A = this chain, B = another copy of it.
Amino acid sequence: MKLFFGEIYDDHAILNEEESHHFAKVLRGQEGDVVHVTDGKGKLAKVEINSISKKVVEGSIIELKTDFEKKNYYLHVAIAPTKTMERLEFFLEKATEIGIDEITFLQTFHSERKNIKIERIEKIIQAATKQSLKAYLPKVNDLTKFNDFIKQDFENFTKCIAHCEDDIVKTPLKSILENEPNKILILIGPEGDFSRDEILNAEKENYKGISLGQQRFRTETAALQAVFAIDWELKS
């Protein structure tokens, strides 16, 4: 059954404008059709469509689930965008499918990419959320300068920076996960890694340097590894 984004009220739901258009014009949906609607914040409703107008598709809620498949942890990944957007996009799609709550794009010293199309990225994440029938839509934050980002307050988060600098002590991600953190923030660097200064600055802000394993991975592979490992170790 198809999933649409919309507003969920007590006994009825309204598809967002774009989703209403998609339902009515692209999919040629009919009154009486039964679909899934999510607010992207944990509610998943089974809805029978009652009325279809040009801009609003509305229906009655048959069944409502709240906190649908809520994870037992919150994962925020802040990542330097890869040179090739395709690689970043694949990561975003997979991360959404596996489970991620918030994504920030980092502008770092070694970043080659200085801009991203945030609307395109939001579309990819929405599509992945719908495709994998999830009721939580990951939050997306625009490109932020590294040094500004690390100064932000992330209360109660276990804050980690993944890097490959050999002479700065790192903790294996495995050890971090043994403490079963329930709010995790992981920074993933660009091709060419974070600069030494960036790593040291992050440490001053209580980020722990971590290693993801013995291998040096590409940016998007390292990020995927982290998302998979956290799901693997923490999901109850």
User: A147: CB under 8 A from chain B?
Assistant: no
Q: Select which of B94, B132, B214 is within 8 A of A224 by beta carbon.
A: B94
Contact, CB under 8 Å: A232 / B213? yes
Contact, CB under 8 Å: A94 / B221? yes
Nearest Cβ distance between residue A28 and chain B, in whole angstroms?
A: 23
Q: Which of A201-236 contact B (CB under 8 A)?
A: 213-215, 217-218, 221, 224-225, 228-229, 231-232, 235
Given contacts A98-B221, A221-B94, A221-B98, whether A214 and B235 have CB atoms under 8 Å apart is yes
Contact, CB under 8 Å: A97 / B218? yes
Q: Select which of B90, B132, B215, B235 is within 8 A of A98 by beta carbon.
A: B215
Given contacts A90-B90, A229-B232, whether A97 and B221 have CB atoms under 8 Å apart is yes
Task: Return the CB mask of A85-116 against B: 1 if under 8 Å, else 0.
Answer: 00000100010011100000000000000000
Contacts of A228 in B (CB 8 A): 224-225, 228-229, 232
Q: How many copies of this chain are found per oligomer? A: 2
Can you identify 26 A-B contacts, CB atoms within 8 angstroms? Answer: A90-B90, A94-B221, A94-B224, A97-B215, A97-B217, A97-B218, A97-B221, A98-B215, A98-B217, A98-B221, A98-B225, A99-B215, A131-B218, A132-B215, A132-B218, A174-B232, A213-B231, A213-B232, A213-B235, A214-B235, A224-B224, A224-B228, A228-B228, A228-B229, A228-B232, A232-B232
Given A94-B221, A98-B225, A174-B232, 7 other A-B residues pairs in contact with their CB atoms under 8 A? A94-B224, A97-B217, A99-B215, A132-B218, A213-B235, A228-B228, A228-B232
| Interface of A toward B, CB cutoff 8 Å | 90, 94, 97-99, 131-132, 174, 213-215, 217-218, 221, 224-225, 228-229, 231-232, 235
